[in-house]
Amino acid sequence: MSRSTSILGDFLRGLGQATFFLITILRALPGALLRPRLIVQQLYYVGVLSLIIIVISGSFVGMILALQGYRTLSHFGATSTLGVFVSFVVVRELAPVVTALLFAGRAGSALAAEIGLMKATDQLSGMEMMAVDPVKRVIAPRFLAAAIAMPLLTSIFAVMSIGVAGGHLIGVDLLGVDQGTYWGQIHAQLRPHDVVESLIKSVFFGIVIAWISVYQGYFASPTSEGVSRATTSTVVVSSLTVVGLDFVLTAFMFR
């Protein structure tokens, strides 16, 4: 009983601390926007450097969906709807969710480790003593860059999955689905609000991953074990939050 109370207490304390930290970051954002160079630099680190994993994963997810979809649809003689099948699954669910999970593993963990190490090596304290607010100088640009990068990476994931080397490669080039039918069905069935909802999800996921990553790094114990724990927690907590949040958002959008 006392152990579960203590765990609940720790959780609520952590949640409160994280909420106050988020408010501090949000208040620092206008100042960070005045220094676009820092944001662009972080966009490169969290966005551009995540491209390779997103492009490759997107392509393979699209190829797998096309193979599985073609096999199932062929039982009903409906292989012409392969494009719709792939695009619905990718745009509505897999693009935002898989991109978020990959992003948490690639960029979120890197952010937490970098900030945690900056803390362990007194770099954040050093900034404070130079009268430079580390939340404005270090945290806010990283938070913003991660939140901006997620919808962009989600779009790239979707493009790679549905077209280019993904579903299109397998469905049209390999299995012989008519190219006009493939794209025509997508054009006819996929509604603009499907795309908008996908982007809304990715914005939420981006903010949540950015928040968890910078929080874990900033409040990490300044030891090698502490940084390691912060990195692991970032991936675990982000992943669980993303799938949970995805259910909530999907339930709202389902109506």
Partner 1 sequence: MISPDSDIHVRVRGLRFNFGPRVIYDGVDLDIPRGKITAILGPSGTGKTTLLRLIGGQWRPKSGTIEVDGIDVHKQSRSQLFELRKRMGLLFQSGALLTDLSVFENVAFPLREHTDLPESMIRDLVLMNLEAVGLRGARDLYPEQISGGMSRRVALARAIALEPALIMFDEPFTGQDPISMGVLMRLVSTLNKAQGLTSIIVSHDVKEVLSISDYAYVISGGKVLDHGTPEAIRASRSEYAQQFLHGRPDGPVPFHYKTAKSYTDELLESQA
> Six-digit token pair at 177?
């689905």
Q: Is 131 in the site for partner 1 (CB under 8 A)?
A: yes
Sequence letter at residue 215:
Y
Closer of 1 and 129 to partner 1 (Cβ): 129
Considering only residues 130, 225, 247, 251, which one is a binding residue for partner 1 as defined by CB under 8 A?
A: 130
Enumerate residues 6+ apart whose C-beta is below 8 A from 245: 204, 205, 208
CB 150 within 8 A of CB 99: yes
**R_g over Cα of the chain:** 21
Closer of 125 and 179 to partner 1 (Cβ): 125
Closer of 31 and 184 to partner 1 (Cβ): 31
CB 6, min distance to partner 1, A: 18
**Rounded CA gap, 34 and 158, in Å?**
32
Considering only residues 6, 17, 125, 224, which one is a binding residue for partner 1 as defined by CB under 8 A?
A: 125
CB 142, min distance to partner 1, A: 12
Sequence letter at residue 55:
V
Lookup result for tokens 């006819």: 188
> Of the ranges 64-72, 74-82, 131-139, 143-151, which one interacts with partner 1 (CB under 8 A)?
131-139
> Six-digit token pair at 203?
């914005």
Considering only residues 14, 15, 19, 122, which one is a binding residue for partner 1 as defined by CB under 8 A?
A: 122
> Of the ranges 2-10, 115-123, 193-201, 233-241, which one interacts with partner 1 (CB under 8 A)?
115-123
Q: Is 34 in the site for partner 1 (CB under 8 A)?
A: no
- Given CA atoms 68, 70, 75, 78 in this order, what sign does their dihedral have? positive
> Of the ranges 26-34, 57-65, 120-128, 161-169, which one interacts with partner 1 (CB under 8 A)?
120-128
Q: What are phi and psi of 69, to 5 degrees?
A: -65, -45
Residues of this chain that interact with partner 1 (CB under 8 A) are 118, 121-123, 125-133, 137
